[in-house]
């Protein structure tokens, strides 16, 4: 049993969701290609299709491709399921993903049919999407202030409010942060990804494997930071580092780095996460787009640069948010895993 628990810690043997395109509707605009965080798609013969990047990390079912398609030509079928080994998850889910169903009578109805019955807060929650396509248009300072003010009034342990915000509107500095974070991520990739995948190559060598020392290193790191070593997370990091033109911050006109006082009461990560989500919901209610960028923690390697940005003790980086005006209409509901609920009466 112990051996089984740690099998396939380096790479699981999963089934993946599938990108499905309605060829009659697709006009080859390429918006789905640009928004895919793992770069799994391409346009060929004026139609979107999968480029089969690699077998070990494919579609994460974020459904951004479906959200940005103006022709409603994209859908995602199937779920990410692992049946055995360290990453086993098939026993943790109930059926397939479903659309929001907050009201007893809305089963089988489209969101538009019952949207008017929801509160404005509910509508923002259900329609919000992570935005990866931004206009170059700067975000007015007063809107940024409104977003941060929503975060300021988030609950925190002991009303401790441990947060601090670094707002960057200078695209040159955001670009510098991008390059430094990618340097750190490349170090992680060297120890946890086959050498053949370190440079961009589509579809890539699906038969590439980890060296023995990489397998050992990955198995050790999985026990330390499992969330960062999930194969899908590594797929995303490999996309970032294997493409020299990849912008972690998605070309957004503004970046907000969210810090927390490490001496804060209770769980500062939880409190700061609540603060950030207040900001995200406020931004989308104002017609702005956001995307959480956890890869900002790559700045940990550059203390002098952090100091230049105004980051230093007692504050530490928790996460960051891109902020800008979306290219086109993107926010709308998508399917999510069904909730795991244990009722006690």
Give this prediction's pTM.
0.93
Q: Which residue(s) pair with 241 in the sheet? A: none
For the residues 89-101, what does the mean pLDDT come to?
A: 90
In this predicted structure, what is the pLDDT of residue 144? 98
How far is Cα 167 from Cα 150, in angstroms, rounded to an integer? Answer: 15
Question: Residue 78 in 3-state DSSP?
Answer: coil
Please state, in angstroms and rounded to a whole number, the distance separating the CA atoms of residues 203 and 67.
Answer: 24
Q: What tens digit of pLDDT does each residue of 166-214 get?
A: 999 999 999 999 999 999 999 999 999 888 888 887 777 888 888 999 9
Question: In this structure, are strands 41-44 and 47-50 parallel, antiparallel, or unpaired?
Answer: antiparallel
pLDDT, averaged across the chain: 92
Q: How far apart are CA 29 and CA 40, in angstroms?
A: 16
Distance CA 71, CA 31 (A): 11
Q: What pLDDT is stored for residue 85 in this prediction?
A: 87
pLDDT attached to residue 1 = 45
Domains of the chain and CATH, by start? 2-82 (3.30.70.20), 141-169+253-324 (3.40.109.10)
Q: What is the pLDDT of residues 3-48, one digit of tens each?
A: 556 677 888 888 889 889 999 999 999 999 999 998 889 999 999 9
pLDDT of residue 74 exceeding 50, the answer is: yes
Integer CA distances (angstroms), 310 to 158, 165, 304, in order: 26, 10, 10
| pLDDT 10s digits, 256-271 | 999 999 999 999 999 9
Q: How confident is the model at residue 221 (pLDDT cuts 50, 70, 90)?
A: confident
What 3-state class would DSSP assign to 104? coil
| pLDDT for res 2 | 46
């Amino acid at each position: 049993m112990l051996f089984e628990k740690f099998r396939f810690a380096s790479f699981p043997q999963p089934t993946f969701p599938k990108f499905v395109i309605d060829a009659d509707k697709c006009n080859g605009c390429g918006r789905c290609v640009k928004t895919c965080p793992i770069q799994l798609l391409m346009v060929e013969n004026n139609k979107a299709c999968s480029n089969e990047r690699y077998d070990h990390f494919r579609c994460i079912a974020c459904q951004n491709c479906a959200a940005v398609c103006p022709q409603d030509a994209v859908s995602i079928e199937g779920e990410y399921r692992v049946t055995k080994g360290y990453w086993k998850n098939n026993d943790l889910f109930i059926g397939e993903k479903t659309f929001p169903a907050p009201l007893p009578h809305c089963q089988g109805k489209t969101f538009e049919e019952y949207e008017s019955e929801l509160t404005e807060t509910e509508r923002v929650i259900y329609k919000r999407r992570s935005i990866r396509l931004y206009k170059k248009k700067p975000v007015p300072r007063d809107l940024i202030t409104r977003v941060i003010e929503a975060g300021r009034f988030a609950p925190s342990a002991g009303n401790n409010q441990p947060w601090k915000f670094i707002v960057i509107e200078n695209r040159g500095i955001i670009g510098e942060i991008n390059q430094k974070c990618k340097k750190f991520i490349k170090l992680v990739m060297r120890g946890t990804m086959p050498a053949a995948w370190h440079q961009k190559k589509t579809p890539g060598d699906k038969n590439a494997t980890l060296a023995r020392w990489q397998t050992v290193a990955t198995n050790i790191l999985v026990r330390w930071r499992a969330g960062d070593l999930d194969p899908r997370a590594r797929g995303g990091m490999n996309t970032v580092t294997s493409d020299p033109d990849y912008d972690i911050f998605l070309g957004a006109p503004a970046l907000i780095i969210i810090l927390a006082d490490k001496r804060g009461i209770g769980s500062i990560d939880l409190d700061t996460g609540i603060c950030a989500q207040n900001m995200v919901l406020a931004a989308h209610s104002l017609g702005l787009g956001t995307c959480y960028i956890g890869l900002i923690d790559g700045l940990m390697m550059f203390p002098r640069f952090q100091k230049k940005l105004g980051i230093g003790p007692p504050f530490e980086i928790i996460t960051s948010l891109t902020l800008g005006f979306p290219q086109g209409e993107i926010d709308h509901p998508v399917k999510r895993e069904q909730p795991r609920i244990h009722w006690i009466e």
